[in-house]
Amino acid sequence: MAKKIILIMALCCVSYYAAIAQTEDEITVIRERNFKGAALYGFMNGGSDLYLEYGFRDLRALEVKYKGQDYSIEIYSMPTAEDAYGIYSQHTFRCITADTLSSYNCLSKFQLQAPVGEKYISIVFSSPSGDLQEGARELLKHYSTPVNITADSIKTVAIPVQFKEMVRPLSGKLKFMRGPLAISNVDSDIENLLKNISNYKVWYLKSGNQGENRVLLLFSDINDKVVVKARLSANTIVSEGKDYIFFGF
C-alpha cells in the first residue's frame, strides 16, 4: 500500500510539473524589464510613492503572448506577505469573482490580481472574454509556482483573528494599510484619527452596512494607543489589548 501511495504521489508531481512546462512552452516573452527601489518612478508616473510606503523592493514587468493573446504581467516583490496583501488590497475594487482558487485573488473586467507570498501579481488583458480570463488564471498559476517564486516566500498572509469569522470573500473589502498615503485612499476619518501617529498598522473592513464596519489598529508605541483611544468614542470600541484597538462604526 505504501508503495502504491508513493507511486501516486510521484505521478501527481510529474503531471503537475508537466503542466508547468507546457504552459512555459506556450509563453513568448515579448519584453521584460526590472526595477528596484526608487527606480519604480521610471516605470509608473504616479503611484510609486504608495508602493514605496509598503516597502516595495523590486518589479519584474513582462509583456507576453500566451495562446495567441497578449498579456501584461507585473510581479512586485514586497518585504512581507502582509505588505503584498496590503498593496493588493489597495488595487482591488468591483471584483467579478474573488478569493477563488483557494487563495486571495480578484478578477475584474480586464485584470486578474493576487498576493502570492511576498509577491503582488497583476495580469492585464485586452478583452473580457472567457478565453483571456482563463489564460490569465493559467498565467497566474504558472508565475505563482516554486519555479518562479522561491518556496520560502509562498505563504498565505496572516489575517488577524478579529476578521477570521467575517464572511468571505475578503478581497475588495478588507484593506491593510501601514502609512498615510494608503489610509487617505481608503478613509479620511481614519487619517484624522491617526494624525501625528507613526509606526502603526491598520486592518480595515467596510461591509457597506452601518454598524458592521470594523477597524483594527495596531501600535508599536503604547503611548500612541493611549492618544488614539482618547480620540475615539468609547461605545465604538469592540475590544482592545496592550498594543491594539478594535472598533466599529
Distance CA 237, CA 217 (A): 11
* pLDDT of 151: 42
* pLDDT of 103: 84
* pLDDT of 45: 80
For 48, list phi and psi in degrees, rounded to 5: -60, -40
Residues 4-25, mean pLDDT to the nearest whole number: 50
Q: Quick count: other Cβ atoms within 10 Å of Cβ 88?
A: 27
**Above 90 in pLDDT, residue 7?**
no
What does the block give as the cell for 19?
503542466
- Asked if residues 245 and 231 have their Cβ atoms less than 8 Å apart, the reply is no
- What is the model's pTM? 0.86
Q: What percent of the chain has pLDDT over 70?
A: 86
Question: Nearest-5° angle of CA 65, CA 70, CA 72?
Answer: 100
* pLDDT of 64: 98
Residues 153-173, mean pLDDT to the nearest whole number: 83
Q: Using one digit for the tens of pLDDT, what is the confidence trace for 120-145? A: 999 999 988 889 999 999 999 999 87
pLDDT band at 146 (very low <50, low <70, confident <90, very high): low
**Above 60 in pLDDT, residue 209?**
yes
